[in-house]
Structure 1
Amino acid sequence: MHRLSGMKCVVTGGTRGIGEAICRRLVSEGAVVVLMGKTDESTHNTAQVLSEEGPGKAYGLGCDMGSVEEVNAAASRIEELLGEVDVLVNNAGIATLHRFLDVPVSDLDDVLAVNVRGPFLLSQHIARGMTSHGGAVINISSQAGHQGQALVSHYATSKAAIIGLTKCMALELAPHVRVNAVCPGIIETEMIERDFSRQAELLGVTAADVRHRTLARIPLGRFQDAGAVADVVAFLASNEAREITGQVIHVNGGMTTS
């Protein structure tokens, strides 16, 4: 199924985890994707692999989403590579774990810069072109931004901001641009055990306890995989979602029910 054949897409944070899964899915459906990551080397390597898998094509573009200058430069490079952009997926994000009273100002600034300011500015650049020919913006938020979560107050704040940004953009950019958010739950990645260990250290329990408690909060009884998030993103990017805008879609096994 090549629903996105020929569509021109941009995905930030596309070299691993959810972002890589999204890029792989878009390319598999025939899209041309500019895959953004922090370094040129990592993005070019991933783009080469995905292009070989096809049938679409991927280009790599290094960009530190926390840098205003690099975001502005990346926007110009995207225009050179693609011209008009049909789909923007704001996925790049960072997080650290701290108790609220101990969050360093440097961590707060870094998280807000990458998770909020970066996608805000990139969306401004790309949405200007979309208003003339149409398009879709898909912002990756988090269940933490919807319901809150201990030890990630700064991260949850940034992801709640993305939900608010999504709704404002949807109102202002209609009818030509659709804007939606996707909130992943706990995604089974190579980093999950490290995060559980850090949470355990802060909470004074074991990593096994953290895993058990987290699973107990998921009605489906399992962590999600990045491919499930990519499935939703591909749908929202396609014409099948032509009547959907301003929505927040949860991919979390039922962790949030309201």
Structure 2
Amino acid sequence: MDSIAAEGTGLAFVVFTEAILKFPFPPAWSVLFFLMLLSLGLGSMFGTLEGVITSLNDSHLITVTKPVLTAVLCASACLIGLLFSTRAGQYWVALFDSFAGSYALMCVAFFEVIAVVYVYGYRRFSRDIEFMTGSTPGQYWLITWRFVAPIIMAVLFTCSVVQCFSKATTYYAYDRETTKQKETEYPIWAMFIALLMVLLAILPTFSVWFLRYFKIWKLEADIPACFQIDLFVTRDINK
């Protein structure tokens, strides 16, 4: 079996499928395995969409009702997903998997930690947790939030960027002559698409700060719970 199949989507649809054939009564195991994949995919999509929908509803940036917003987001995701069902779908999956799920996530996670710990303040964040849970975070969590997590994410992101630019980014494409997978460099236009995906993912991190700092657009959400926590923190600080 080609070792290339042991990574990416080939791990689920090639390697595990080949292994299931060695089990007793393979059809039953195949049904259970792919039902598990379907359940995991649906569960992940529910969580992802609910996070986006709830955030947009609570912020009041969009005035449409929740069912309409859900339908629009699901339809948009379905249209984008059609790209992965084409004949070149596996190559698009490889492109998205290589860039959208690595650089952007690490960059956003790093700035989230910086925003919470150093902009909002780890002391205020600890008081918020105490208000909601009744217990104060220990020194382990404070040290991890302030030093360990930012350093680790910065190192990982830097290493990923250095590795990306130290050698050409490649993917595996089918070669008709050898009937095998061949390592191929991404074309220039594909790298521009990858860069656009990363920039679009991290754009809100800077755009929200820009809009708030220069008072271009009011982005305050009218959520009573936030004001209650803020009042509690203010009283606690004044003490």
Q: Which has the larger radius of gyration?
A: 2
Q: Same fold (TM over 0.5)?
A: no
Q: Give the structure-2-normalised TM-score.
A: 0.28
Higher helix share: 2
